[in-house]
Amino acid sequence: MSKDKKMALVTGGSRGIGRAVCIELARAGYHVIVNYASNSAAAEETVSSCEEAGGSAEYCGFDVSNSEEVSRAFSELKSAHGSLAVLVNNAGIAKDGLLLRLKDQDWDRTLDVNLKGAFLCSREAAKLMVKARNGSIVNISSVVAEMGNPGQAPYCASKAGLIGLTRSMARELASRGITVNAITPGFIKTDMTDALGESLKEEHLKAIPLGRYGEPREVASLVRFLCSGDARYITGQVIGINGGMYM
């Protein structure tokens, strides 16, 4: 790895949107740190894909919702690389269920990973970025944060919380040259959407004016732009990429 490469950390980078973001940032010249929670094999595949794209990457396993693990991971990152230019808070889970049947532990776990995890990682990343007086944080929220969705109360709440967190951090960190933005993807082709039944897929497509699911690379391209020099005057924004299903 060239020492003059900027560092980018992508949480939940082992598959889906996270993997596409890792590859796109590696292609853009960043040395990408691929975070994963448990699937090291998938993280290794992402690293290989980054290298095949002409970039460089490494993987790092830690639970974003665990304060001690996050602190340790960022301490190791600082020792190894010294700085961090980009943080993409992409790690997320969905514990779906109707409100009246929802279990406490499913609510807690969803909020811990999706919202607390972004807070913990952003707090540590900001410490590094403030010293450099430069950096970009991108939070991957969801279109359902803006429009709601039956049976997804914890997921919607956690992703809506990310929007509030984004705007608050953007105001706090702007004076230090750090931009903070959120992206709200709609239905994107991932393992999660592939698992849906055909009838449900058809039903979702009816709600999308463009008539198709989005591709992970389309989200990744937006992340890349928000982390680039061309987006230094953009902060505190929530940008939808949903085929028009929410306007």
pLDDT digits (tens, 9 = 90+) for 113-144: 999 999 999 999 999 999 999 999 999 999 99
Q: pLDDT-based confidence at 192, cuts 50/70/90?
A: confident
pLDDT of 219 reads 98
Contacts (Cβ under 8 Å, ≥6 apart) of 10: 18, 21, 22, 25, 32, 33, 34, 35, 88, 90
The residue assigned the tokens 């007086």 is 133
Mean pLDDT across the chain: 95
CATH number of 7-237: 3.40.50.720
Query: What whole-number distance in Å separates Cα of residue 86 and Cα of residue 125?
Result: 8
CA nearest neighbour of 175 among 235, 230, 226: 235
Q: Which of 124 and 3 is assigned the larger pLDDT? A: 124
Mean pLDDT calculated for residue range 220-234: 98
Main-chain dihedrals φ then ψ at residue 237, nearest 5 degrees: -100, 150
Q: pLDDT-based confidence at 161, cuts 50/70/90?
A: very high
The answer to whether residue 60 scores a pLDDT higher than 90 is: yes
Q: Which of 82 and 204 is assigned the larger pLDDT? A: 82
pLDDT digits (tens, 9 = 90+) for 86-96: 999 999 999 99
The answer to whether residue 202 scores a pLDDT higher than 90 is: no
The residue assigned the tokens 């609510």 is 107
pLDDT of 197 reads 75
The answer to whether residue 27 scores a pLDDT higher than 60 is: yes
Of 3-7, 181-185, 213-217, the range with the lowest mean pLDDT is 3-7
Out of 155, 213, 233, 246, pick the active-site residue. Answer: 155
The answer to whether residue 29 scores a pLDDT higher than 60 is: yes
59 flagged as catalytic:
no
Query: What whole-number distance in Å separates Cα of residue 89 and Cα of residue 87?
Result: 6
- Greatest CA span in the chain, whole angstroms? 54
pLDDT of 3 reads 56
Q: pLDDT-based confidence at 74, cuts 50/70/90?
A: very high
